[in-house]
Structure 1
Amino acid sequence: MSQVDYTLKGYERPQLTTPNGESKLLMHSCCAPCAGEIMEALAASDIETTIFFYNPNIHPTEEYELRKEENIRFAKKLGMSFVDADYDKDNWFDRTKGQEDEPERGERCTTCFDMRFEVTAQYAKDHGFDLISSTLGISRWKDMDQINDCGVRAAEPFEGVTYWDFNWRKKGGSSRMLELSKREEFYQQEYCGCVYSLRDANRWRASKGRNKVERGVKFYQEAKLKLAQQK
């Protein structure tokens, strides 16, 4: 039995279909590297998709703007509509108060996902979308069950709005995510997004004798060039 080639070059994308034949998808996006593979898959399947960028967890503001602009750049390339939602970071800090020392994948992350998906679901209801999903689950650093539980819970109060829990990691999705990020030369962020994840990343780096995270300077093109030089 021959092995399937799941690389960007070799993978023949299937035609995806929405769970119940929904006509429009509102896709919550966390960043261009996570979103790129998913956006390309949806475009190849002719699913009418609008990207919804609502991430008040990303700090500081300069980091937020850089991640957002990278996502806008790729949405324009694919001809996808893009919604630049409110950066209500004060609300995020209020919601996560008392959870500052929670670990990655802990209760703070649940609170964060709940907040972002609740706003996504409300926007979907107000603007005629019957299906929502998120790019968050493609990352191996995230707990997919945690993300999907939050998505389903956010959609439940809104009649006619469904959360699509498609597994974007499967069949090489996570690997293609990295391939596409290098191809598109996306900004390569080195922490999840919030000040607490940045703090914890720097603490871990210090314990390993490594330099602190440098924001706004690293792009996937650099990784691609280094790989080419090693061959």
Structure 2
Amino acid sequence: MNQRNYQREMEQVISRNEKEGKIPRLLLHSCCAPCSSYVLELLNRYFFITVLYYNPNIYPPEEIRHRADEQERLIASMPSEHTITYLEGSYEPEVFYRTVQGHEGDKEGGERCFLCYRLRLEEAARQAKAGGYDYFTTTLSISPLKNAAKLNAIGEELARQYGVPYLTSDFKKKNGYKRSTELSREYGLYRQDYCGCVFSKRERENVKID
């Protein structure tokens, strides 16, 4: 079975919209400013983007504020061809803990992370449907540590459920991750050293100790 090329699929969608003279509205879930930097640079030429910052997994509470503030600062600082707006979701850590209950001991990158993907992508799908967006997607695939196939599978499942197309993507391709690190330096962005949740933080700290 041939492996799907999500990057090429996204480029085909963009090309089709360009040929039809369309500039669609995209609801972009963002995990953090550094990961969104390249994605915004790439996609703002082709979409009117609303960045949804919904990450109930983030720990501790002061970390969510720091990351959200950096996201807003980046949007205000970046040049953009089309309007980029910001939408901050509710901080609901209890929803995250309930979602991953029973998977607290999973290794980073396992089932707990997949449940977290779904939690955040489902909120993006809800917001996209409520706001009448043409597409929704997430910045998460830019990370070399995130499973792009799983993210796209969840996104496409939610697209069918909510009736809003999911923009398939693998933003780490074509040096996307490398470019995000360059932009992070350029804008002086805060780059955290763990994904976000208390479990990833503990795992990271244990690695440092070892």
> 1:51 aligns to what SS in structure 2?
strand
Letter in 2 for 1:124: A
Q: 1:1-231 counterparts in 2 under 5 A?
A: 17=14, 23-43=24-44, 45-78=45-78, 80-159=84-163, 161-207=164-210
| Runs of at least 4 residues off by over 6 Å | none
8 Å Cα contact 1:22/1:131 also seen in 2? no
Displacement, 1:75? 1.3
Identical-residue share of aligned pairs (%): 35
Letter in 2 for 1:23: P
In the other structure, the counterpart of 1:9 is none
Which stretch of the first structure deviates more once superposed, 177-186 or 167-176? Answer: 167-176
Letter in 2 for 1:25: L
> 1:163 aligns to what SS in structure 2?
coil
8 Å Cα contact 2:156/2:165 also seen in 1? yes
Distance 1:203 1:100 in 2: 15
Structure with greater contact order relative to length (CA < 8 Å, sep ≥ 6):
2
8 Å Cα contact 1:32/1:70 also seen in 2? yes
Displacement, 1:57? 0.4
Distance 2:208 2:110 in 1: 20
8 Å Cα contact 2:38/2:179 also seen in 1? yes
Displacement, 1:22? 6.7
Q: Which runs of 5 or more residues in structure 2 are unaligned?
A: 1-10
8 Å Cα contact 1:19/1:164 also seen in 2? no
Structure with the higher fraction of residues in helix conformation: 2
Distance 1:139 1:19, change over 3 A: farther
Displacement, 1:18? 6.8
Aligned CA RMSD, in angstroms, stands at 1.9
Count of aligned pairs: 192
Distance 2:48 2:65 in 1: 25
Displacement, 1:151? 1.5
Rg bigger for which structure? 1
Q: Which runs of 5 or more residues in structure 1 are unaligned?
A: 1-13, 208-231
Distance 1:121 1:19, change over 3 A: farther
8 Å Cα contact 2:24/2:46 also seen in 1? no
Distance 1:36 1:19 in 2: 24
Distance 1:200 1:19, change over 3 A: farther
Distance 1:149 1:46, change over 3 A: closer
Distance 2:16 2:185 in 1: 31
In the other structure, the counterpart of 1:8 is none
